[in-house]
Amino acid sequence: MNMHRVLTTLGCALTAVLATAWSAPPPTEPAEPAEPAATTVRTSVPAPFAAISTTVRTPDGRVRGTARDGYRTFEGIPYATPPVGRLRWTPPRRPAPWSGVREATRPASACPQPAGEVPGGSTDEDCLHLNVTTPDTAGPAHPRPVIVWLHGGGFTTGAGSSYDAHRMATRGDVVVVTVNYRLGALGFLAHSGLPGSGTFGLADQQAALRWVRAEIGAFGGDAHNVTLAGESAGGYSVCAQLASPDAAGLFDRAIIESGPCTGRPDRPFAPSSISLNTARAKGAALAAQVGCGAARDVTACLRHVDVAHLLSAQETDQQPAFSTPLLPSDPAAAIAAGRFHRVPVLIGNNHDEGNGWAAGIVQAGHPVTPDTWPDVVATFFPSPGLAKKIVREYPVHRPDGGPVFGAVIGDANFACPTARTDGLLGAKVPVWRYEFADEHAPPLTPGTPPFPLGAPHASELPYLFDLGGRPRHLTAAQNRLADTMIGYWSHFARAADPNGPSLPRWPRQTVVSLAPDHVVPTRTAGHRHHCAFWNTLG
């Protein structure tokens, strides 16, 4: 294994460690006792909504959720047929209707993945489920905007149930849907004998969006006002759906957090896509590794391989494939050419995106010092002459050079690509751009890092969700920032504009800096990064 793969693997391992910060599933309250009307009555709810039903009739069948304090949750609802057996590596199909009342009071299994965000991992392929969180005041007669959330995790880990969305639902007065989609080799394997190669996970996301258009009205969501949102690999998934012809008409707004659409494989920390030829080469290598490379029918052989064996054999890096029917072009190229769906976009990144990876790599025994810095840079940027330019632009003068490494990762992979994506999208559609900049954001991992992390990758998530059902531990000022962010996100979902009553003004064509008691628009956010330098490198 070369040094690039070692360090990249360490970075991915750190992502898994970060994921354990929200790995505990939310505590499940017992379902309401079965009653003839399957209804819970709250005297504190305004009269028009005094009777809050925990049973909802959908086109596929009735589901019974859980009544909570001001909102309801419906968990583990199938949006596609289980992709098992002969349906492994096939496009998602509508689920079969059911009779009676289906319990939706606890999350379904996460899609297969190694241990990390999901304790012990998962090998359950029956995973194409989603979760709905809806305010008590939402109903078919009073529909609310819908936010569909795609989780991050490098296309290898994650689950919709990790994101407790009740604060966004109640404070933002929106319906939130969190989605599982196929991951790793099961989601992105490519082979010439498999229609849909390299994009099964993206196809799952589209199936979930079709479910939302058809069925969310029963839960009080406005099927004609759907915002697709995600972070990291979930944010890049939003980019892919913007560029996918098959996603036309499936959503009305887009929110992209730390998943710039112009990601590229030579910048290995941000998500990106790969060509179908490259994906097929990876698929052939996987088939050989699990003993199917020489089989008469490779796909049939692969469908009999144990899930755990596939997980152990798959590469750490996973990306969707372009030059495919679902994704004809690399999203970066499609967006640069103006070939994307014309919907308003809210996009942003965190000020210190790269610090978490840099800290993990330093702690794993790869210090960044004036002596080691040129070799570390050359490992990640092996093009002739490039490493020297980066070392000159980001000099390390002290033995604790981890923050400099973090700045390189953050600028090259996130901040500057986000600025470029903002410019490309903004030439065609309304775009609002933010930078999350709380330098005292609560840590997502236990222990003491080798240097202060500031606002690293994923640190904005506890301001929007309770991760793993754990109450967030924020200061009073941070809670005010969280309320402001939820206000921006929900107003954007409601009206394609984040500005609303009692919120700091967010003018277009500026970057709003999100920090406690300091939410201000600025035109200089990019100047804190070295984007002019990275722009000269292409």
**Nearest residue to 441 (alpha-carbon basis) of 497, 482, 395:** 482
Side chain identity at 461, as an amino acid letter?
Answer: L
Report how far residue 192's alpha carbon sits from residue 268's, in angstroms, rounded to the nearest whole number.
26
Beta strands in 10-68 (DSSP E): 39-41, 51-53, 55-58, 61-64, 66-67
Distance (Å) of CA 463 to CA 150, 369, 480, 487: 16, 34, 9, 11
**Nearest residue to 221 (alpha-carbon basis) of 149, 134, 162:** 134
Side chain identity at 535, as an amino acid letter?
Answer: N
Report how far residue 494's alpha carbon sits from residue 503's, in angstroms, rounded to the nearest whole number.
15
Helical H runs in 230-328? Answer: 233-243, 276-289, 298-302, 307-313
> What one-character DSSP code corresponds to residue 139?
B
3-state SS, residue 97: coil
Residues 6+ apart with CB under 8 A from 458: 18, 152, 231, 232, 258, 350, 356, 444
Give φ, ψ of 6 to 5 degrees.
-60, -50
CB atoms within 10 A of CB 47: 6
What six digits make up the tokens of 341? 């769906």
Of the candidates 457, 491, 529, 530, the residue annotated as catalytic is 457
Maximum CA extent, the chain: 74
Of the candidates 117, 125, 353, 435, the residue annotated as catalytic is 353
| Structural contact between residues 264 and 159, judged by C-beta atoms closer than 8 angstroms | no
Sign of CA dihedral 433, 439, 443, 447: positive
Of the candidates 232, 244, 258, 490, the residue annotated as catalytic is 232
- Residue 232 annotated as catalytic: yes
Helix (H) or strand (E) holding 52: strand 51-53
By annotation, the residues acting in catalysis are: 232, 353, 457
